[in-house]
Chain A
Amino acid sequence: MGELTYLEAISDGLRAEMRRDESVFCLGEDIGAFGGAFKVTDGFAEEFGADRVLDTPLAENMIIGAATGAAIEGMRPVCEMQFADFISCGFDQLVNVAAKLHYRQGVAVPMVVRLPSGGGFSGGPFHSQNPEAWFIQAPGLKVVAPATAADAKGLLASAIRDPNPVCYLEHKGLYRHIRGEVPEGEHTVPLGEARIAREGSEMTVIAYGSAVHLAVQAAAELDEDIEVLDLRTLCPLDRDAILASARKTGKVLVAHEATQSCGVGAEVAALVAAEAFEHLDAPVRRLTAPDVPIPFSPPLEQAVLPQPGDMKEACRELLAY
């Protein structure tokens, strides 16, 4: 075990998979000689060569489309979108080709799309988005969003080994602010399994990514018996873990940084309402960004992204219900 930042854990996981399996290769913009916009692949070109750390032209459909073809032919490509926002430029290849090939033709597409997502640093409307719900509406894609350093490594390894296209959302705000123990060498975390980040019995906050840390922090500061369930995988959802925690506490707050309408929170709320209705002591609530683009200026951005105070208030309201 060693302590790594979330960013270092992503690098560590990727490096371990590339050492383990020579069919794993990376492709993206500025990932080779430059080491990536966030330095996730820093030093990779020296270790693995330019072929396996492929600097691509500025062409996101090309990145996703070429990865799809290479994956069909037995490679395990890991695409880097420089920012998650730019997946819109590669969306066609992702949702129409990669996502549907197995359903339509029985052709497996084992590839990963790394998506540096999230706001909080004045990235503005095109460098701050949380696009996870887009992918869930395209059946055939798996979606993961680690919150901890250990999960960042373990979920990446599992995503690479999975025979399907996996969207891997790595929150930029966690890159250097979150640090934790990470197993050395091979480490996998199964897709589709949530994690109890904090045990409690009075209410549950169901979250993923950056919102997990808001919830854990709020629970500690409020000193209340709050359970925090970290979804880790958004598609497929760990329905059993969601329902078990909802039935146990009877009060559910779903929290994420992404916008509200038709988001992951809506899906979780609908699931809890449909399957755990008799166990509920309060309405299912959501804490999310409102349905607006992410603004640039700090006071505007802070007004949009869920803040620690918002989390505490939402928990207090539900506990008092």
Chain B
Amino acid sequence: MTLSEASAASDAALPAEPGLLTREDRARLFRFMVMMRAAEERGLGLYKQGKVPGSFYDGCGQEAISVGAAYALAPRDRLCILHRDLGAHFVRGVTPDRYLANYMGRAAGVTGGKDGNMHFGDRRLGCVGMVSMLPDMALVTTGMALAFKMRREPRIAMTFFGEGSTANGQWHEAMNFAGIHRLPAIFILENNQFAYSTPNRLEFANDPLEHARVYGFPGIRVDGNSVEEVFEAAHAAAERARAGEGPMLIEAVTMRMHGHGAHDDMSYVPAGMHEEWAGRDPIGRYARRLTGEHGFETGEIDSIREAVHAYVAECAQKALASPMPDPEEATGGVFADSWEPLGDGEAPWSRWSRDAPSPNGHANGNGNGSAARLPATGRAA
């Protein structure tokens, strides 16, 4: 199947389980995607104003993947989020001010200035921040999944990586180990067409999905520009993993609509390709689908956009007001004095929230999204 065919097929294929998402869920999915786009646009603006040291990396065009995948998780699930996946941080509870402050190296950034750009993960929200080497976090993900399996906890570890990562030996090590032990891990392969400037044909000679079958677990390909399709796949993978049936590889086909970093002019992109993908923008498509198929009013969509933009503007002011870190902190924190567990992340689909934990969903320690959700929504699945 060509990429265009994959996209066309997915446009026609509606979710297999339409009852999984409520109207409220759909509004949230849309809101998180808009928030990612708006926050990254604001971040790029701050970069152009010279307020961001280093370079600037975003996931423009890929919003549906991180939002849709993270939205399927339960509070006690864990994530290693990569650099095109800001939406997953927002789903788990990071606010745009902390993201923007991190880019600017401010004290209020998620890492307090210790690390920059997208190299962060809020440990209090169940996330472990990425490193630059790819796909190192895939192995860390298998280790978290191994701990869950050893302790017989119904929990999942999820990570993301680009198609370029499949060329690296550590990817093989991670897939192989996950397959051997049927680990509760979900691997989201974001095929955004270019690893920096290198196209698919110079990264692999075969179909990356074939890899999954070789490693002994299923791989599925979804339209990475359809947030509901990504959600459905992640949900199915999560149910499967939680039932002890092992890992899944989800290839989300998309295109990185900006350069690798802000310094990259994308001169390597073939003529017409950018325009073709611009017509499949995940946010615009979802807005049309919400009004066309799910009974949303245009005004409702507009008001979500306006509210998010106002919120992100407010968050940017907060980030700009945050001080730079104290230089004295540069030499602190090399070693830990004690081990503390990661905290639990927001899990909006399960209806569990850090502010108001559901007694059914969390206090029993299972962190099972479905179990938390049914009483909270009062709806039989």
- Give A residues with C-beta under 8 Å from B: 25, 51-52, 56-57, 59, 61-62, 64-75, 77, 92-93, 96-97, 100-110, 139-140, 142, 163-164
Contact = CB atoms under 8 A, between A and B. Distances in A.
B143 A67 contact: yes
B364 interface: no
Interface in B108-124: 110-111, 114-115, 119-121, 123
Contact of B342 (A51, A68, A73): A73
Interface of B: 78, 110-111, 114-115, 119-121, 123, 128-129, 131-133, 136-148, 150, 157, 169-170, 173-174, 176-177, 180, 333-342
Contact of B136 (A56, A97, A142): A97
| Those 7 A-B pairs whose CB atoms lie nearest each other, nearest first | A69-B143, A65-B139, A108-B336, A66-B143, A73-B147, A62-B173, A69-B140
B334 A107 contact: no
A110 B339 contact: yes
Contacts of A75: 146-147, 150
A102 B333 contact: yes
Nearest to A235: B335
Contacts of A77: 143
Given A69-B141, A102-B335, A97 B131 contact: yes
Contacts of A64: 139
A90 to B, nearest CB: 10
B150 A107 contact: no
B176 A59 contact: yes
Given A103-B114, A107-B123, A92 B146 contact: no
A65, A69, A96 interface centre (most CB from chain B within 10 Å): A69
Contacts of B339: 71, 74, 108, 110, 163
A62 B174 contact: yes
A70 B177 contact: no
Given A93-B136, A104-B129, A163 B157 contact: no
B335 A142 contact: yes
B180 A140 contact: no
A79 B341 CA distance: 21
Contacts of A93: 136, 139-140, 170
Given A102-B335, A104-B119, A69 B342 contact: no
Contacts of B133: 92, 96-97
Contacts of A163: 336-339
Contacts of A51: 150
Contact of A104 (B111, B150, B177, B341): B111
Q: Which of A25, A51, A104 counts the most chain B CB atoms within 10 A?
A: A104
Nearest to B336: A108
B338 A97 contact: no
Contacts of A74: 147, 339, 341
Nearest to A73: B147
Given A102-B333, A105-B115, A72 B144 contact: yes
A96 B136 contact: yes
A139 B334 contact: yes
